[in-house]
Amino acid sequence: MNSIAPQKLIARPSPALRGSVSIPADKSISHRALMLAALAVGESRISGLLEAEDVLRTADAVRALGAELERVGPGVWHVAGRGIGGLVEPENVLDMGNSGTAARLLCGILASHPLFAVLTGDASLRRRPMRRVTEPLGRIGAQFLGREGGRLPLAIIGTGRALPLDYRLEVASAQVKSAILLAGLNARGLTVVEEPEPTRDHSENMLRYFGAEIVVEPKGKGRLITLRGQPELRGAEIAVPGDISSAAFPLVAALIVPGSEVEIPKVGLNPLRTGLLFTLAEMGAEIAIENERTMGGEKVGDLRVRAAPLRGVDVPAERAPSMIDEYPILAVAAAFAEGTTRMRGLQELRVKESDRLASTARMLAANGVAVEIAGNDLMVHGSGKPPPGGGLVATEMDHRIAMSALVLGLATKEPVAIDDSTFIETSFPRFVALMQSLGAKISRE
């Protein structure tokens, strides 16, 4: 529950941003590393773990389920797992804070263990739908009891005789896919998930890395993922790369602040997560990828970006799964582009920390940007010149709206303020200090 007083911040037009910055570790991979280490036999060593509130909630949860965790240094954790089927019933309610990823993936793990657990979260998380995971997980034999719409708090009665699923996702969702695969770990036989469009595959990569038997095949425009249940996962060494969703903020800031040049090393470049880079390149961005390599089964590289004039583009709906978290900051880039940028098929944004489709539009409109929503499409009409700015943005408990608004204010004609910055810590510790190190003018109002 959030009881911290709101902390207002203001971003002012800044001189050229310059320097090299290390971004936080990938949040999606950090969640999964902790969960799979808890299900493995033996000890895992995780380096570069994101020590932000969302991930620390996952650490608390797997500890409550019987795994032994020890922090041995900054970002370095040792996890002694319980093995698949070996989790214990938690003594208290599991509070997942603001993390929808943690809550939905844990639903999958808990569903196929014979125990009782209750999940809750902050006010934002309690508004988000869980039925998209509880409905398929109910088919394996688990029981779920929650508020209207399947929302948290959610009571879970797991089953010790989980049935394997053969399930086609209704919407492209890595969280739903991952929850089903995690449940399938403790089910006899084959769990099969068909996704209509490819979504981020961190779960598949990490399951394979820990020793699970998993096969991924193309099917139409999507993919078919098959997991053999009840493997013996083995403890592993995991190095977590930088989060491309976090890199997006200094990256776009460098594009829109004239004269800027910024380097961002060790960024995860999973091909199913790089839709933003592809879209910005279409818009005319100068982004170089250097020193490409592999870490823990994930592609990694160093990004170098220079300020450049941008043009409006049409972003197809099928690209959304590869950049779903980056649309608010893409919309900021679009505000500085020449012409209209249309981002199609953004219905998934409506069920994030806020209704991100609406809150992104409100953020831009409050600062003089011509913007409109047509169905599930967002259209930003840029003039190729800095927008007026001068607005106060209601962040609506959404860290990505808060950070996007601050980046916007670095290049508008007038400063941009946000009503609350406290939720930035859930995903990007020291965001303000990092941006200030590049020369960004961000301060308390």
The residues carrying an active-site annotation are 325
The 3-state secondary structure of 103-152, one letter per residue: HHHHHHHHHCCCCEEEEECCHHHHHCCCHHHHHHHHCCCCEEEEEHHHEE
- The pairing of beta strand 190-195 with beta strand 166-168: parallel
Q: In what order do the strands lie in the sheet with 286-295?
A: 18-20, 261-268, 298-306, 286-295
Tell me the three state secondary structure of residue 270: coil
Best CA proximity match to 187, nearest among 227, 225, 135: 227
Helix axes 27-39, 174-184, angle to 10 degrees: 10
Q: Are 362 and 318 in contact (CB under 8 A)?
A: no
φ, ψ at 308 (rounded to 5°):
-155, 150
Strand ranges in 170-221 using DSSP code E only, listed in sequence order: 190-195, 214-219
Q: Are 120 and 93 in contact (CB under 8 A)?
A: yes
Tell me the three state secondary structure of residue 317: helix
Burial (0-12, 13-18, 19+ Cβ within 10 Å), 445:
exposed
Q: Give the helix ranges, DSSP H, for 308-398.
A: 327-335, 356-365
Give first-to-last CA distance, the chain, whole Å: 25
Residue 241 CA to residue 129 CA, distance in Å, equals: 29
Q: Are 279 and 309 in contact (CB under 8 A)?
A: no
CA dihedral of residues 258, 26, 155, 195 (deg, nearest 10): 90
Q: What is the residue type of 71?
A: R
DSSP assignment letter at 203 = H
As given in the structure block, the two tokens for residue 296 are 């823990």
CA 45-425-244 angle, 5° bins: 65
Q: In what order do the strands lie in the sheet with 76-80?
A: 68-73, 76-80, 43-47, 237-239
